[in-house]
């Protein structure tokens, strides 16, 4: 094997490595950029509602509740709030406003038949009632027509489970609440974009900004390789090491 052949192979290997690193750098840069946009997108839809839910401090176990008032109204001035809305960014001109009373009796205990309606002592009401902690959502998870049928005026004086806010006991109750679901979504929304961003930026920094990445011994000897390729009569005294 001559010096010229060996240098040609080294040059091809170096060129291939640089191409791989170049395209990998593009992919990593794109991943880092998309991670930033994804995190910014998740803040109003996942992070902020989850933090608000945690701060509201809803009771984990449902309690016995009953509907006491159901108002259907139209007009933006009248729909200052709604119990259910399909779409969290849209403005609805028609709204259902449901008010309930709730007690401290666990719904599981009521379901066992240990208490009657006359035995229930309502500790708060009428209180605004929402489908979930945000009061909105998207199909099929949120169906406002079905929600109104389940908890509207037809359920007056009937007992059903609900969750009340310990921080806002006279202002907010919800029909759906899952503590584990809230925590899981919050952790995923924060960790996945930030981990992808950190890994991408870390690898790019190591490849292109780390001091040892540009040390002399790691650079391909392009000048010597070029001379060897175009030298038709290599010196007999040169030995391949």
Tell me which of 120 and 235 has the higher pLDDT: 120
pLDDT tier for residue 189 given thresholds of 50, 70 and 90: very high
The pLDDT of residue 208: 81
pLDDT tier for residue 227 given thresholds of 50, 70 and 90: very low
Task: For residue 145, give the H/E element and its range.
Answer: helix 144-151
Q: What is the pLDDT of residues 132-180, one digit of tens each?
A: 988 888 888 889 999 999 998 877 888 999 999 999 888 899 999 999 9
Q: What is the pLDDT of residues 106-138, one digit of tens each?
A: 998 888 876 777 778 899 879 999 999 888 888
Q: What is the pLDDT of residues 11-69, one digit of tens each?
A: 555 677 788 888 888 999 999 999 999 999 999 888 988 898 999 999 889 999 999 99
Residue 99 has pLDDT above 80, yes or no: yes
Residue 216 has pLDDT above 50, yes or no: no
> 239 to each of 9, 49, 223, 227, how far by Cα in Å?
17, 71, 18, 15
Tell me which of 211 and 158 has the higher pLDDT: 158
Radius of gyration, CA atoms only, the chain: 33
Could you tell me the residue ranges of all domains in the chain? 3-51+192-230, 59-176
Closest by Cα among 96, 78, 74, 119 to 175: 96
Indicate the SS3 state at residue 149.
helix
């Amino acid at each position: 094997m001559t010096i010229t052949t060996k240098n040609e192979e080294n040059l091809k290997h170096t060129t291939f490595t640089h191409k791989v690193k170049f395209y990998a750098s593009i992919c990593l840069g794109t991943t880092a950029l998309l991670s930033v946009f994804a995190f910014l997108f998740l803040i109003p839809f996942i992070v902020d509602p989850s933090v608000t839910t945690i701060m509201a401090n809803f009771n984990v176990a449902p309690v016995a509740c009953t509907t006491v008032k159901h108002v259907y109204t139209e007009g933006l001035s009248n729909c200052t709030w709604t119990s259910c809305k399909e779409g969290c960014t849209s403005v609805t001109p028609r709204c259902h406003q449901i008010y309930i009373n709730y007690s401290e009796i666990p719904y599981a205990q009521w379901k066992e038949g240990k208490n009657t309606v006359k035995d229930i002592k309502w500790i708060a009401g009428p209180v605004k009632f929402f489908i979930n902690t945000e009061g909105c959502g998207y199909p099929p998870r949120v169906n406002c027509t079905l929600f109104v049928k389940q908890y509207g005026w037809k359920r007056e004086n009937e007992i059903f489970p609900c969750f009340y806010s310990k921080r806002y006991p006279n202002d907010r109750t919800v029909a759906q609440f899952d503590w584990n679901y809230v925590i899981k979504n919050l952790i995923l929304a924060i960790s996945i974009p930030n981990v992808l961003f950190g890994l991408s930026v870390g690898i790019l920094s190591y490849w292109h900004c780390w001091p040892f990445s540009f040390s002399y011994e790691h650079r391909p000897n392009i000048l010597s390789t070029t001379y060897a390729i175009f030298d038709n009569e290599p010196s007999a005294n040169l030995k391949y090491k």
